[in-house]
Amino acid sequence: MNGKTLKRGKLLVIDDDPGLQKQLKWCFSEYEVVIAGDRPSALAEVRRHEPAVIALDLGLPPDPANASEGHTALQQILELTPDAKVIVVTGNGDRENAVKAVGLGAYDFYQKPVDPQILRLIVDRAYGLYELGREHRGLQCQQGASLEGVIGASSVMTQVCRTIERLAPTDTTALLWGESGTGKELFARALHTLSARKERRFVAINCAAIPETLIESELFGYEKGAFTGALKRTPGKIECADGGTLFLDEIGDLPRVLQAKLLRFLQEQVIERVGGREEVPVDVRIVGATHKDLTALIKTGEFREDLYYRISGITIRIPPLRERAGDAVILARALLQRYAREYARPLRGFTEDALQAIDAYAWPGNVRELENTVRRAC
């Protein structure tokens, strides 16, 4: 212990009366009190400190006799920090503006002259409710999409996370099906991290990103002299993943000639390197991912039906962002915090208009599009 008093939380006092500022700072010594004298400075302090409780005098300059400046400040504060508890302080007999403020979202009101003891009770109660709300929000997040790196609280994402958690300890092959940008690799990594194979390697390969002439050697490796430039024996991705997990992203783009070779490996758990005849046993769990409808590709002859049944021991549909009610806003806030730190920007939140736009937009590029949008904004 360093002997200093532990502050309960941050209390922002917005009032242009220096005497009252000093009185409240002394009265609430157990809080970390921040002072602001007008609306612009108050908004700056809200962004900087994100206070739990705010005492707002509705009679702010430039016209202390007109409460509209205080009402405007209240609305802008709640856009920046909707969870804060705002207590409005009004002049004696100005009950009408106080009630209007409560209608705009204020937690409570108090009339001047200020009685420090009564105001203390109101502030302490507001702070207690803020802490209770924060604990509740934390529990909601824990009960929602709780996998590492997965952010969201929608029911569809919660269901996906529970399925991943149940499937991970098994060695069953899994197929993750969903649109581009939905985070399929994130869930593949979760299957690996939550399995008994977590101490071994997670190896990923994008079947659509490698030229058809190279993908066989990438997957199965090659022997020295197998082709021009093969100067030494080189293990492939499957062999590198021995004991761990192999993630085949965009498996629907795997050339048909290689589908047969992959099927043999899945059936016999052995591989042959390109240019070699030795059978190499490999113990690996396969997780595939695709944005394509593989059953449709089977009908057109582009994908082997027997391979499909081998890789789709369990098929998990990863929902697009537009189906994850409320998750776009949660993700956007988390991304804003990440990029604000990364780029050293003093950004604390979104305006109400921005949040409504984020929630209303369909996000055809899914999480990847949202991530790029917030990054550009920062």
User: Quick check: helix, strand or coil at residue 172?
Assistant: coil
| d(C-alpha 89, C-alpha 101), whole Å | 10
**pLDDT tens digit sequence for 37-93:** 998 999 999 888 889 899 999 888 876 766 688 889 998 998 888 888 999 988 766
pLDDT at 229: 80
| Planar angle of CA 169, 171, 174, nearest 5 degrees | 100
Whether residue 32 contacts residue 333, with contact meaning beta carbons closer than 8 Å, is answered with no
What's the pLDDT at 194? Answer: 92
Q: Residue 84 corresponds to which tokens in the numbers above? A: 């804060």
**Above 80 in pLDDT, residue 1?**
no
Q: What is the CA radius of gyration of the chain?
A: 29
| DSSP for residue 62 | T
Task: Show the domains of the chain with their CATH numbers.
Answer: 10-142 (3.40.50.2300), 171-319 (3.40.50.300), 325-377 (1.10.8.60)
Residue with tokens 């099927």: 263
Cα–Cα distance measured from residue 297 to residue 319, given in angstroms and rounded to the nearest whole number:
21
- For 278-289, what is the mean pLDDT? 94
26-39 confidence digits (pLDDT tens) = 888 889 899 999 98
Q: What is the DSSP string of 118-165?
A: HHHHHHHHHHHHHHHHHHHHHHHHHHSS-STT-----HHHHHHHHHHH
What pLDDT is stored for residue 3 in this prediction?
40
Partnered with residue 36 across adjacent β-strands are 14
Q: What is the pLDDT of residues 296-315, one digit of tens each?
A: 999 999 999 999 999 988 99
Contact partners, residue 366, CB within 8 Å, separation at least 6: 179, 180, 181, 182, 183, 320, 321
SS3 244: coil
For the stretch 345-349, contacts whose Cβ atoms lie closer than 8 Å and that sit 24 or more positions apart, written own/partner, are 345/378, 346/47, 346/48, 347/47, 347/378, 348/46, 348/47, 348/48, 348/50, 348/80, 348/81, 349/47, 349/79, 349/80, 349/81
Instruction: Quickly tell me which residue has 């220096």 as its tokens.
Output: 18
Give the pLDDT band (50/70/90) at residue 190: very high
Q: State mean pLDDT over 83-112.
A: 84
Mean pLDDT rounded to a whole number for the chain = 87
AA letter at 103: G
Whole-number Cα distances in Å, 255 to 12, 209, 265, 266: 63, 12, 16, 16
Rounded CA gap, 327 and 153, in Å? 6
SS3 263: helix
Per-residue pLDDT at 283 exceeds 90: yes
